[in-house]
């Protein structure tokens, strides 16, 4: 029996397989007016097609908990009724194909207010629809402006913003909420000494640098139902300490294990393990499975369920990750953009039964042309 296509139960939620769609920004929401941050027909088709393609869980891209928390002016948000109503249509479409609708709640911090990556990826100033960025410390990300250093009162408001967006996500029909704590965005920048130079209760010691992340998790878990899971996405390493030639202090895999233990104690059910994003010039040894050891380390040393991500492209490769106990699930990104039906073909490749929609199954199984 295929490990990859064995259901996974987290709390009372059963996910029908271990092949999940990773959150990927599409930069396709309207930037201005009443439709700012609202998902469109593009998002509906984009996400529902991956559910029809057999993904067990479909995660909506990084969704800003407030207008200035988005990566770009064209990103999704969840802070008002109009956005919530539009997301309800999408969760219904995902669920109609047997997949679990999930959403990643995020604040981009010092890496916010940038252009679409296929245009320039440069900072968008207020005069062009952008905004002042914020961070734990006035330390700029390479090529972007120096951010505003958050006050304690502003930090506490951000915690409330995450909770408010989680409430709206639940009302919109999502069954999993993921807190985005990776890739150099706001929560990740509090965690890493490469970006957090504070000397108050939110900086300095390891425990203080964890404080904001844990407060956000506590706030989300408080409003999220007991029977539904909460995920946390982490960058398990900044890829600074792994490079002997780089003297900058960064976040490490061992740090992630300590964080994972704290997260699990606060009700986080799965750690979504990525890496990098804190600095632009980190040396990253990208290749097949290059991030999987970090998922395995957190799983084995902290005892928390994990999902692996990054250059997982072959069904047998994915099957081995799950069967060998390195992670509970895999998240696919680019591979699902190339082929929305990858899970259906992967099932055949590892000896499992595909779950084609009836409208497709008749043709796929019974017609040669």
Report pLDDT digits (tens) over 6-58: 999 999 999 999 999 999 999 999 888 888 999 999 999 999 999 999 999 99
330-342 burial string, b = 16+ CB within 10 Å, else e? bbbbebbeeebbb
The residue ranking higher by pLDDT, 37 or 247, is: 37
- Of 27, 185, 202, 341, the catalytic one is 185
The verdict on whether 362 is a catalytic residue reads no
Do residues 249 and 241 lie in contact, with contact meaning Cβ atoms separated by under 8 Å? yes
Q: How confident is the model at residue 184 (pLDDT cuts 50, 70, 90)?
A: very high
Q: Is the pLDDT of residue 291 over 90?
A: yes
Do residues 222 and 230 lie in contact, with contact meaning Cβ atoms separated by under 8 Å? no
Distance between CA atoms of residues 188 and 195, nearest Å: 9
The CB density around residue 78, as the number of other CB atoms within 10 Å, is 29
Q: Is the pLDDT of residue 241 over 90?
A: no
Query: Strands 19-21, 57-64: parallel, antiparallel or unpaired by DSSP?
Result: parallel
Average pLDDT in the 222-230 region?
Answer: 98
Domain topology for 8-366? TIM Barrel (3.20.20)
Report pLDDT for 246.
78
Report pLDDT for 167.
98
Average pLDDT in the 207-219 region?
Answer: 98
The percentage of the chain sitting over the pLDDT mark of 70, rounded to a whole number, equals 99
> What are the tens digits of pLDDT across the range 128-173?
999 999 999 999 999 999 999 999 999 999 999 999 999 999 999 9
Report pLDDT for 136.
98
Q: In the chain, where are the structural domains located?
A: 8-366
The residue ranking higher by pLDDT, 369 or 256, is: 256
Report pLDDT for 243.
78
Q: Is the pLDDT of residue 359 over 90?
A: no
Q: Is the pLDDT of residue 366 over 70?
A: no
Q: Is the pLDDT of residue 358 over 90?
A: no
Q: What is the model's pTM? A: 0.96
């Amino acid at each position: 029996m295929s490990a990859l296509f064995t259901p996974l139960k987290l709390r009372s939620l059963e996910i029908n397989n271990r092949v999940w769609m990773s959150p990927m920004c599409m930069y396709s929401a309207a930037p201005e007016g009443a439709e700012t941050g609202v998902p469109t027909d593009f998002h509906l088709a984009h996400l529902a097609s991956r559910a029809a393609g057999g993904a067990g869980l479909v995660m909506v891209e990084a969704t800003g908990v407030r207008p200035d928390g988005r990566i770009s002016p064209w990103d999704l948000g969840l802070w008002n009724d109009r956005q919530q109503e539009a997301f309800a249509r999408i969760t219904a479409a995902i669920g109609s194909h047997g997949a679990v609708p999930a959403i990643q709640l995020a604040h981009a911090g010092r890496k916010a207010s940038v252009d679409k990556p296929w245009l320039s990826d440069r900072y968008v100033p207020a005069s062009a629809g952008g905004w002042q960025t914020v961070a734990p410390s006035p330390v700029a990300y390479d090529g972007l402006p120096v951010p505003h250093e958050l006050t304690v009162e502003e930090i506490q408001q951000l915690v409330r913003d995450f909770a408010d967006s989680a409430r709206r996500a639940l009302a919109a029909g999502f069954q999993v909420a993921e807190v985005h704590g990776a890739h150099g965005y706001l929560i990740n920048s509090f965690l890493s000494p490469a970006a957090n130079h504070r000397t108050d209760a939110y900086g300095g010691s390891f425990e203080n640098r964890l404080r904001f992340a844990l407060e956000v998790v506590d706030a989300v878990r408080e409003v999220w139902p007991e029977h539904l899971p909460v995920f946390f996405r982490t960058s398990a390493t900044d890829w600074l300490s792994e490079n002997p030639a780089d003297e900058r202090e960064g976040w490490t895999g061992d740090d992630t294990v300590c964080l994972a233990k704290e997260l699990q104690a606060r009700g986080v059910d799965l750690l979504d393990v990525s890496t990098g994003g804190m600095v632009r010039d980190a040396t990253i040894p990208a290749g097949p499975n290059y991030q999987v050891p970090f998922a395995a380390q957190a799983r084995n040393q902290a005892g928390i369920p994990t999902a692996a991500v990054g250059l997982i492209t072959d069904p047998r490769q994915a099957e081995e990750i799950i069967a060998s106990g390195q992670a509970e699930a895999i998240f696919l990104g680019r591979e699902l953009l190339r082929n929305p039906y990858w899970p259906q073909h992967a099932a055949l490749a590892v000896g499992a039964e595909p779950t084609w929609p009836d409208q497709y199954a008749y043709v796929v199984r019974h017609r040669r042309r």
